[in-house]
Amino acid sequence: MSATRHPSRVAEAPVLPERGPGPVKVTLTVNGTEHALELEPRVSLLDALRERLHLTGAKKGCDQGTCGACTVWVDQRRTLSCLTLAITCEGREVTTVEGLAEDGELHAMQRAFIEQDAFQCGYCTPGQIMSAVALLEEGHASDDAEIREWMSGNICRCAAYPNIRAAVRAVRDQA
């Protein structure tokens, strides 16, 4: 069933230094700006963004990786910030919905959400937008069925789905 292939190098390896469980210095790069924070290792990226950096775009919906309201990008990939520990993002690049606009100009997807009336209460919208921009980057928006499937990690309790798809289509077709 199993076979030892070669002896381990583990015996000589030193045990790694430990940080925490109390607050430790954590450097986060968010929307291009470096922030030095004192965080406990258990703090999620979502809580660090909202409670420490006051970037309240990413929302705490379920806090268990189900709803997608907390979607941000880590190294340009859409990621659930509620299931990510902030300390694991040291050395990585975090982008939130607050980082999408450039020089005061909304991102095309943000404009399309307004033009297509792609939200009602707006709670899921920052996550929807971060997911939608990434969706186009990934090339998963060829038709409505594909958009629906690849946006399924972002729940909208108001069921604005048809208008969200319209916004995605609008930006896709501008390109």
Partner 1 sequence: MRPISYSRAGDVAGAIATVASDPTSDFLAGGTTEVDLLRQNVMLPRRLVDINDLPLTQIEDRPDGGLYIGALARMSDVAEAPTVRERFPLIREALVLGASAQLRNMASMGGNMMQRTRCAYFRDAASPCNKREPGSGCSALDGFNRGHAVLGVSDHCIATHPSDVAVPLMALDARIHTEGPRGRRVYALDDFFPEPGDTPHLEHPVEHGELVVGIEVPGMPAARTSLYLKVRDRESYEFALASVAAVVPMTDGVIGDIRLALGGVATKPWRARRAERILRGAPAGREVFERAAFEELLPARATPLNAFKVELARRIMVRALETLTGTRSPS
Interface ranges with partner 1 (CB under 8 A): 1-22, 24, 40-42, 44, 63-65, 68, 71, 77-80, 83-85, 87-88, 90, 131, 134-135, 138, 140, 148-154
CB 164 to partner 1: min, Å: 14
CB 94 to partner 1: min, Å: 14
In the bound state with partner 1, the residue whose beta carbon lies nearer, of 11 and 175, is 11
In the bound state with partner 1, the residue whose beta carbon lies nearer, of 12 and 173, is 12
Instruction: Report how far apart, in Å, the C-alpha atoms of 42 and of each of 15, 87, 88, 146, 165 are.
Output: 21, 8, 10, 36, 36
What whole-number distance in Å separates Cα of residue 167 and Cα of residue 175? 13
In the bound state with partner 1, the residue whose beta carbon lies nearer, of 8 and 33, is 8
CB 105 to partner 1: min, Å: 26
- Contact, 118 vs 156, CB < 8 A? no
Which one-letter amino acid corresponds to residue 155? I
At 31, give phi and psi (nearest 5°).
50, 40
In the bound state with partner 1, the residue whose beta carbon lies nearer, of 14 and 104, is 14
What whole-number distance in Å separates Cα of residue 29 and Cα of residue 96? 11
